[in-house]
Amino acid sequence: MSLRQLKTISERRKYLEEKLKLKLSATAIFPQGLNDAQYKNCENMIGCTQVPLGIAGPLKITGNYAKGNYYLPLSTTEGALVASVNRGCKAVTLSGGVTAFCLDVGITRGAVFKTGNIKQSVSLQKFLEENISLLKKKASSTSSHLQLIGLKIKIVGKFVFVRFNFDSQEAMGMNMATIAADKLVRIISEKTQNRCLSLAANFDIDKKPSYLNFLEGRGRQVMAEAIITESVVRQVLKTSPQKIDEVAKVKCYLGSIVAGSLGFNAHYANIIAALFISTGQDVAHVAEGSIGITSTEIVDSNLYISVSLPDLPLGTVGGGTLLPSQQESLKILKVTKGVKGEKSRALAEIIAAAVLAGELSLLSALSVGSLSESHQKFARAKIKQG
């Protein structure tokens, strides 16, 4: 008998408890409706790992798709994170809110073909460019929710890397893109006699920080900005616009250059990960979302701050978004209903706005040396009895 031969979550958990002589009582606690996850989200499922969920906000957002005041569901085990983002939300909202803007870049899948020589590689590139209409038609036949919107081609001797770019509407779309790309490479191989060595050849580039995605974008490309008044900076953030601006430039620009980082920011990954876990996104895509730029400047004694997230794969349908608690978080963010195609864009704008609030608060703490104090207060707080 093995785990994969067992049919239910409880049977697998009991089997493992007996095998390892453990009691997995906490793992056994999960809400009704999560049983279906064993068929769609997690193989050999034995239960659920629970992550604390905190709320920050409200955060006032004026975007193309996200408009209003939002509470942010943040799943994390890092003490001080929710408090920090909450402080940023307060400062931003008191100053009039954050403006956000989302662009659909498209999800990608990058395959590689092997030809006989460079001449054949150039010939394959020509074929792809001349038959883009055929490829678009074939891609759409795999799903009514998917469209091929472009190609990027890179020749390296006998190897031709092809980056297929898809519009996946409300879904993050990685599985849809993979299925469509598989059909396309088969057609290409059949018509050109060039073998596809790998359907996924890192030209995507999926779940890795990359300068290509930094420049080209992937999934959603999102930007947000706000002007924080000098009075709010002093009263709420307990610092000055000038101090925040100096820290931001030295840390996010110079520090990142010295380190050779692709992330010119304070901590995008913190906020993105917390929101991704809450809303059922593929958490591995935090590796991509972490790249981006935070910029600041002084405008009439106030602080201007902006964030740029070029690579944010996400969706409001599919994957883990249908799980019970993740659905509740999406409802908190008001992105489960609305015009087709706009819910995922709204989610992207909310995440960008939340990232801005998180950046503002951390940079403020660093500017007055209170980062350690905050972690001491929240992350090491004594547990109250009774």
Residue 362: how many CB atoms within 10 A of its CB? 27
Helix, strand and coil in the chain, % to nearest 5: 45, 25, 30
Strand partners, 152: 163
- Single-letter code of the amino acid located at 228: I
User: Catalytic: which of 206, 282, 288, 359?
Assistant: 282
For strand 195-198 and strand 147-156, is the pairing parallel, antiparallel, or unpaired?
unpaired
User: Catalytic: which of 78, 104, 225, 246?
Assistant: 78
Which residue has 């009263």 as its token pair?
235
CA distance linking residue 66 with residue 265, whole number of Å = 23
CA distance linking residue 111 with residue 109, whole number of Å = 7
78 is catalytic: yes
375 is catalytic: yes
285 is catalytic: no
Which residue has 């420049």 as its token pair?
215
Dump the DSSP string for 339-369.
STTTHHHHHHHHHHHHHHHHHHHHHHHHHHT
Q: Write out the two tokens for 24.
A: 């997995």
Q: Write out the two tokens for 327.
A: 């659905």
Which residue has 């920080």 as its token pair?
209
Q: Which residues are catalytic?
A: 78, 282, 375
